[in-house]
Structure 1
């Protein structure tokens, strides 16, 4: 999505001053809408998956679930490679695919609503634990779970405010938010660096579209193979801490690589390494962080973290990159070095967060065992 927007802006940026405010407003509004819709959809889908899994089952199965998204990326990249000459009209194809995804989500919701009583064993164990702790399991489930909720639907802005309140009241969720903010900051910084390098080496807009699509297609093959064969083993053996710590290490190496060798080949290699590590290891590990929180936090706080915090990270990175590029006279190779200290903070946050998640997972497991033995 970022690539498509960037290519369009790069190819037509010289003519923006000839268009009116309505044209510019529509382009900006469309980008914001698609970006937020993409984040909310992915976050909500993962929240539903996490709601029926614990840390152990998620370690084994999250790779297979993520493979579905990778197949979509592979199809989209191959299609864009062959149809790059169509240009902006590719958005019509994207709109049709979004409608197909929306209709698929209706089927998921219908299946859930028709069988609200068929809770998974994990959900039943959680319900029993809630009942033992405060005697209000039904009220808690109705307030937090979309499966059993019969109360009046609250406005979305109120749900967002509740999510923010949950984040601020939990040190664990604050750590998760900090981890994702740093992740978005470094990833966006790398993205701006990547686009700058490609723009200086490939002058044709169609050539840039084809190059990005070919790189994404190549990467998707490795990601798909890794998700189907390696993700479960890595998460089960290495654990959550190693999984989420791998991304800061790769980010550190990539920023150095682009500063030393600013070329499209370095971009291709760095992008391959970054995305394979993120989608095969780090992203499933990041979703495991939410298997140890309450249902309210899964459905409300998680969406706020995935959407608001990530957008704040992107905005921060954009401001920093523009400021640094201006002060350094547009030197792309030097600009990337200023993000290296952020990688160290990101790594320390990931290590502490992973250890905390393992402690909470063991605590929940022991609580379930006690509940089952009663």
Structure 2
């Protein structure tokens, strides 16, 4: 079969999917705009994390507190930022649980996104006036925004699509996000030098407002799917306790396995991210550091798009989640093995690109299909706890682990990372084993 014939067949399959599943187009647009808006902001966040200007990152009171005790806060920038992010996640988790428990989806989803939009207007003012401490506030906020907004997105998709539909369609939806992941860094790389960092906030606002519109357009299909699952109105509030998500994780073997997979997966990513920061610190200005991170994001999302178009759907529909979970795990094991022997900057960048591309193109779609087979509380509450508290708990843990290991050299950092990657592989195997025990469709 020629490449043109193969491409024609894929186009025909896409047209058929769009015809048979009307919500697919809105889901595609929703994820495209969400990740475009996020990736417009992510390089700015990363540049703040790598900034040598401590006063731009932290408030004066915090700098003075460290100085009075003989410590240079600049030596602990990422550790302080990850600690603040984890605290923010823990504090916001009960609020999110309250929203999910007390309000129907049509209310709390738009509210979450509109709150994010309001925050971006606040950051526009902070960056325009160059307020001290803007870097830390923005770094923590973007991390919270990404995890909550993306977690809610996939929970919403699991409301709309059943398991077999998810296997067929999540590749297309994920490709929409990947295109957004390409568009966002390209916009930032092109615009930030000309219009400045502050105006990138307004660019992101425009995309998030489109997300709100997509949520409203998708509501009828989500309501219909819930009615098929047994909900009377199709738009009931979930009820239950605010912290039910953490209790579900403690009780359910599958959710525990997913939590451990998230924890160790974040661990390898954090170790790589912190080493990558050592490279970015050599660049002289925030705009150049922002462009540096934009280039990495562009390469990651380009690779993700290729895998999603040619591999993800075929793997999920023919073989289920097992290969999509294990291939990234083994690739990370191999990458850390190479880094242990040769921790060169270019190798770090390449492994970072391959690691995140494997996660976004294979690992994450595989995990998200599993959530279509569990109940609503697990989809919204437990999943949100895994995607936020567990995720940022891993960030916090391995940010400080990295700080302790750095004194022994990069090879030691990646040697420990090899053990963390082994824990990730074992956790992926446990997820595969536990999800196999689920019924094909769990109502």
Which TM-score bucket, shorter chain as reference?
0.7 to 0.9
Deviation at 1:358, TM superposition (A): 2.4
Q: 1:342 aligns with which of 420, 436, 441?
A: 420
**Is 205-214 or 69-78 further displaced after alignment?**
205-214
Distance 2:339 2:198 in 1: 31
Contact residue 325 and residue 332 of structure 1 kept, 8 A? yes
In structure 2, what is the equivalent of residue 132 of structure 1? Answer: none
- Contact 1:196–1:332 under 8 Å retained in 2: no
> Which runs of no fewer than 5 residues in structure 2 stay unpaired?
1-40, 63-130
The 5-angstrom pairing of residues 36-115 of structure 1 reads 36-85=144-193, 89-109=196-216, 112=219, 115=220
What's the CA shift for 1:107?
4.5
- How many Å apart are 1:355 and its aligned residue? 2.3
Does the alignment pair 1:364 with 2:423? no
Shift of 1:347: 0.8
Sort the Cα spacing of 1:60 and 1:266 in 2 relative to 1 into closer, same or farther, 3 A: same
What are the within-5 Å matches in structure 2 for residues 250-265 of structure 1?
250-265=331-346
In 2: Cα distance, 1:245 partner to 1:194 partner: 25
Query: Counterparts of 1:260 and 1:92 in 2: how far apart (Å)?
Result: 43
Offset at 1:59?
Answer: 1.6
What are the Cα deviations for residues 265-317 of structure 1, in whole angstroms up to 9, with x where unaligned? Answer: 32342233223221221110111221221112112111111111101010011
For 1:54 and 1:45, the matched residues in 2 are separated by 15
Moved more, 3-12 or 16-25: 16-25
TM-score (structure 2 length as normaliser)? 0.67
Deviation at 1:102, TM superposition (A): 3.5
Following superposition, the deviation at residue 14 of structure 1 comes to: 5.6
- 1:197–1:263 contact (8 Å) kept in structure 2: no
Larger relative contact order, structure 1 or 2 (CA cutoff 8 Å, min sep 6): 1
Deviates more, 1:228-237 or 1:281-290: 228-237
In structure 1, C-alpha distance between the alignment counterparts of 2:277 and 2:57, rounded to whole Å: 22
Distance 1:95 1:314, change over 3 A: farther
Superposed CA RMSD? 3.0
Query: CA separation in 2, counterparts of 1:59 and 1:18?
Result: 44
Equivalent residue, structure 1, for 2:308: 227
Structure 2 Cα separation of the partners of residues 66 and 276 of structure 1: 12
Residues 1:119 and 2:195 are matched in the alignment: no
Inter-CA distance 91–267: structure 2 relative to 1 (3 Å threshold): farther
Correspondence for 2:317? 236
Per-residue CA shift, 1:341-365, capped at 9, x if unaligned? 12112111111211221231xx234
